[in-house]
Amino acid sequence: MRSRRLLVVLLTGLCALAVIYAFNAGVSERPGLDGEFGERDLQEEGVSLSRDIGQPADQADEAKTPLSPDVTLAESADLAQVLAIVMDDCGGNMELAKRVLSLDLPITWAIIPNLRFSSETASLLSESGVPFLIHVPMQAISDPDGKAGDPRQYYIGTGMNDVAVRNALSPLLDSLPGAYGVNNHRGSKATEDRELMDSVMSVLLERGLFFMDSNTSKRTVAYEAALDMGLAAAKNSRFLDNESDRAKISEQIDKAVSSVKKGKKSRRVAICHLRPETVAALETLSLDDIAKKGVQLVTLPQLMELEELSDE
């Protein structure tokens, strides 16, 4: 009799466990009202809801401008004062390029197309996860008219219509896949021409690229043209190496950092160039020293992502 009672109790317990298991399984597969688990459900389960700024939820894994390891998305909202350094004129010197790449600095590169090492530099940066721009030669005030398409002069110049701009720009963009955007190499005359800049921005908009105005002319309209076209855009605020002296370049970097702290605009871009003296100055740059001043170095894509975050 006693054995029968124990058997009944055991069978009853097993049945109860089976019912509970089946119920929980059904709950775990039950979708939310929109066919997916809602954010509240995920938060209650302790699931992280991180996703890339500006990216649809279903495209978050394919985001084009991820933050680099030293700046996480969770921390980015607190980054009020940042400086992005863009290194122009890359593509012609691999020895200097490898020295810069070995530095633990969040630098954005700008590669001139069709130089000896342009493609090799772009491939090396892509493999290393380093962002780069296409540094498009544009007509300077000192350049003669009618030289567009001559790589020794410029590719984009005044007098070019929409078709000419597209025909000149498209091969340059195709030659360096993986670029995040474009900035102008020289271009003091071209960037003053609003109609010309509208043609340029139209091509970039189709490609999903952003534009950085190198600000080589006080009368430049390139930045405004990019914004009016709906592009993400940035504008250079300082050249760091107008003088080829390592100490003076370091001094200019310090001034750029100070301008972020003291200026009304707390996110700034500064340009330097792939030159021996500049690389030597960067090799002495300390991220910790800059951070102690309340400023953090970021890449240009990071800076623009932070701008989006601020707008939101």
Please give the Cα distance from 299 to 302 (Å, whole number).
5
- 271 shares a domain with 134: yes
Residues 14 and 88 in one domain: no
What's the start-to-end Cα distance of the chain, in Å? Answer: 73
Over residues 226-273, the pLDDT tens digits come to: 999 999 999 999 999 999 999 999 999 999 999 998 866 689 999 999
* 224 plus 155 within the same structural domain: yes
CATH of the domain at 195: 3.20.20.370
Whether residues 88 and 35 fall in one domain? no
Give yes or no for residue 102 having a pLDDT over 90.
Answer: yes
Name, in order, each residue with C-beta under 8 angstroms of 119's C-beta and a sequence gap of 6 or more.
175, 176
Shared domain for 93 and 151, answered yes or no, is: yes
Give the residue among 274, 285, 267 at the shortest CA–CA distance from 71: 267
Q: Which pLDDT band, with edges at 50, 70 and 90, does 150 fall under?
A: confident
Tell whether 234 is covered by a domain.
yes
Rg (alpha carbons) of the chain, rounded to whole number? 27
Spatial separation of the C-alpha atoms in residues 283 and 226, rounded to whole Å: 34
Which pLDDT belongs to residue 260?
93
pTM over cut 0.85: no
**Same domain assignment for residues 35 and 147:** no
- Return the bridge partners of 248, or none: none
Same domain, 213 and 94: yes
For β-strands 267-273 and 108-111, DSSP reports them as: unpaired
Q: What is the pLDDT of residue 183?
A: 98
Q: How far is CA 228 from CA 123, 193, 202, 211, in A?
A: 32, 15, 11, 12
In a domain, 115, yes or no: yes
Same domain membership, residue 95 and residue 38: no
Least confident of 85-89, 186-190, 216-220, 306-310: 306-310
The total number of structural domains that make up the chain: 2
- Residue 143 structural domain: 80-311
